[in-house]
Amino acid sequence: MLIKRRSFTKGLGLGLAAGALPLLGRTASASDFKAGYIYVGPIGDHGWSYQHDQGRLAADKALGITSTYVEKVPEGADAERVIRELAETGHGIIFTTSFGFMDPTLKVARDYPEVKFEHATGYKRADNLATYNIRFYEARYIQGVIAGRMSKSGVVGYIGSIPIPEVIMGMNAFILGMRSVNPQGRIKQVFINSWYDPGKEADAAKALLDQGADIIAQHTDSPAPLQVAEERGLKGFGQASDMIKFAPNAQLTSAVDFWDGYYTERTKAAMEGTWQSHDVWGGLKSGMLHMAPYLNMPDDVKQMAMAAEADIRDGKLTIFKGPINAQDGSPKVAAGETLDDGAIAGMDWLAEGVEGDLPN
């Protein structure tokens, strides 16, 4: 899936020679094509926005262009203005990298049919508005498998941000993975009501460990929970990037968001005029999701994790496949039944083994 890093001009020359390209409009050469990105957080958050910016830089380097980014864009009324501004100033493709940018992106996309828009994690599309996301839950299943073998207490502490399907499907995938090796495994969860507050993330991690968990999993952005696990000599999983530097003895693995290839490929398509709207939800197989090296675990656990990873990648293992019980033990997904992407994307129930409540 990853394109080789090569001179774009060369590729374009070949394309033109072959007559394969439709009219390029103003995107005549690599250097004057502009890609725009908007981030909800600062690129210095070392989490969600930081990883997107890493992807942007990789795409720029691969394609020989300089792109524009706007950071800390509020998801409310300001987003529409910033996106419009990018469209207005000659950006050929615009990536809006947070869920809350969905409606503003759609509004602006309607007014600029010649500009290509890409919205991360949303579900509204148009001819010039594609959506893309990562199947983070695949990584969570593997983490669950590891936790099932590594946890002595059989209790994993799970730090959630805000109870949205993304977070819920992650918890459920985790417990399914965990119970595939330890049927008694449990998740205790805490929501900190924020994506990013290192101090609170650390507090939540401590509370969960005090409540009997011996492994920490997190769906928040900072390495703070892993640092707590490191300090207490326990284990945990990283989020968004490889956080091994922060917890050399505690991080078992990490789900790494890897946007590099996607951004390169889509920007290239926009430059060459081959861009088409789509809905991509890429997992391990697509290269958008990487597992950081499996460390701090016995070899047999590592083998097991790698096997699970390979099976998910090859499609041999389907994570949300029945029988799956809901939190109260009632059957939720019948044996032999598989949840489709729609059911996964809107997940609003907790699986058996996850403790705690969801608001409704």
**According to CB under 8 A, which residues from 195 to 214 bind another protein?**
196-204, 206-211
Nearer to another protein, 161 or 182 (CB): 161
Neighbouring CB atoms inside 10 A of 162's CB total 13
Contact region for another protein (CB under 8 A) — 23-31, 66-74, 126-134, 284-292? 66-74
Q: Give 151's contacts (C-beta < 8 A, 6+ positions apart).
A: 178, 182, 185, 213, 214, 215
69 is a site residue for another protein (CB under 8 A) = yes
CA 331 to CA 323: how far, in whole Å?
7
Nearer to another protein, 33 or 149 (CB): 33
74 is a site residue for another protein (CB under 8 A) = yes
Nearer to another protein, 197 or 337 (CB): 197
50 is a site residue for another protein (CB under 8 A) = yes
The widest CA-to-CA distance across the chain, in whole angstroms, is 66
CA 271 to CA 265: how far, in whole Å?
10
Site for another protein in 237-276 (CB under 8 A): 241, 245-246
Nearest-CA neighbor of 353 among 137, 150, 155?
A: 155
Contact region for another protein (CB under 8 A) — 57-65, 190-198, 269-277, 313-321? 190-198
> Given candidates 19, 22, 25, 76, which one binds another protein under the rule CB under 8 A?
76
- Residue 120 backbone phi and psi in degrees, to 5: -85, 135
Neighbouring CB atoms inside 10 A of 30's CB total 17
> Given candidates 185, 223, 238, 283, which one binds another protein under the rule CB under 8 A?
223
- Residue 213 backbone phi and psi in degrees, to 5: -75, 150
Site for another protein in 293-332 (CB under 8 A): none
Contact region for another protein (CB under 8 A) — 157-165, 264-272, 296-304, 317-325? 157-165
Nearest-CA neighbor of 105 among 91, 45, 162?
A: 91
**CB burial of residue 278 (10 Å; 0-12, 13-18, 19+):** exposed
72 is a site residue for another protein (CB under 8 A) = yes
Smallest gap from Cβ 28 to another protein, in A, equals: 21
